């Protein structure tokens, strides 16, 4: 098992947001995390990434506990986060934003960095065209591509992706789903938080439903009965 959450609780001050979350992710697997707004999905993502510390329970990655480990160290172990707000650094060009990603992959030398950037620009030709443009001046879809590209420079084995398609045009949404499908085919495990449940179910292998800070249902994405139950419970 690549990742396992065991009875994870997370608080924001006095607010008890996650109340005993259990979930697993296998290597090369795409897992959907679904539920209404405000139920704790993003907190699950941030807790795994170390942006928020769990108040109880354990998170195990590749057989080792992440308890007490900083977000930078978690990233260096191979867990990459594409946050909902993208976090494009102002005052930096597209290429400079990308180079910051190398900080999460120590040991990559100059020649390998150049090769990696060439690979990134080959995968994201729109970013290549705008490599000297300020990152914050890109369109919303291009900024989302930049957020994906930057985290990929760190060579993650598990990607945490939070609401990647929100507010984007349908054509860009299709591009992002094609990108995630491609990454999954390369063996990168993914946890995806996404409001477009029908589209996400075409990408995921398994899913978890989060309600009031707990996992209340899970199933196989290719099982019609499980999909129907998920959609019904979200819609109620």
- Round to whole Å and give the CA distance between 96 and 76: 19
66 and 167 belong to one structural domain:
yes
Q: Where are the alpha helices (DSSP H) in the chain?
A: 41-49, 71-76, 94-100, 110-123, 125-129, 140-152, 170-185, 197-201, 224-235
Domain total of the chain: 2
Identify the pLDDT of residue 236.
Answer: 67
Per-residue pLDDT averaged across 71-80, rounded? Answer: 94
Q: Is residue 84 part of a domain?
A: no
Q: Is residue 13 part of a domain?
A: yes
**CB 142, CB 130: distance < 8 Å:** yes
- Round to whole Å and give the CA distance between 1 and 174: 30
pLDDT digits (tens, 9 = 90+) for 176-202: 999 999 999 999 999 999 999 999 999
Domain of 94 in residue numbering reads as 90-153
Per-residue pLDDT averaged across 203-208, rounded? Answer: 97
196 and 208 belong to one structural domain:
yes
CATH number at residue 74: 3.40.50.300
Geometric angle at alpha carbon 27, from 29 and 143, rounded to 5°:
60
Identify the pLDDT of residue 101.
Answer: 84
21 and 74 belong to one structural domain:
yes
pLDDT band of 107, cuts 50, 70, 90: low
Which one of 153, 168, 183 terminates a domain? Answer: 153
64: which strand partners? 61
């Amino acid at each position: 098992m690549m990742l396992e959450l065991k009875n994870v609780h997370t608080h924001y001050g006095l607010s008890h947001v996650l109340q005993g979350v259990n979930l697993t992710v296998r290597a090369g697997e795409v897992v959907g995390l679904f539920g209404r707004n405000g139920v704790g999905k993003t907190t699950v993502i941030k807790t795994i990434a170390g942006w928020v510390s769990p108040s109880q329970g354990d998170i195990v990655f590749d057989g080792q506990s992440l308890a007490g480990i900083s977000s930078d160290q978690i990233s260096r172990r191979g867990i990459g986060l594409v946050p909902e707000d993208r976090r494009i650094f102002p005052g930096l060009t597209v290429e400079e934003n990308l180079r910051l990603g190398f900080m999460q992959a120590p040991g990559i030398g100059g020649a390998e960095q150049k090769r990696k950037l060439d690979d990134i620009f080959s995968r994201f030709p729109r970013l290549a065209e705008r490599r000297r443009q300020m990152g914050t001046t890109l369109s919303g879809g291009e900024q989302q591509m930049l957020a994906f590209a930057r985290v990929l420079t760190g060579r993650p084995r598990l990607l945490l992706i939070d609401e990647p398609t929100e507010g984007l045009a349908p054509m860009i949404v299709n591009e992002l789903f094609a990108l995630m499908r491609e990454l999954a085919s390369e063996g990168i495990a993914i946890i995806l938080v996404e409001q477009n449940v029908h589209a996400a179910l075409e990408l995921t292998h398994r899913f978890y439903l989060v309600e009031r800070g707990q996992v209340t249902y899970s199933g196989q994405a290719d099982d019609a009965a499980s999909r129907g139950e998920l959609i019904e419970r979200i819609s109620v």
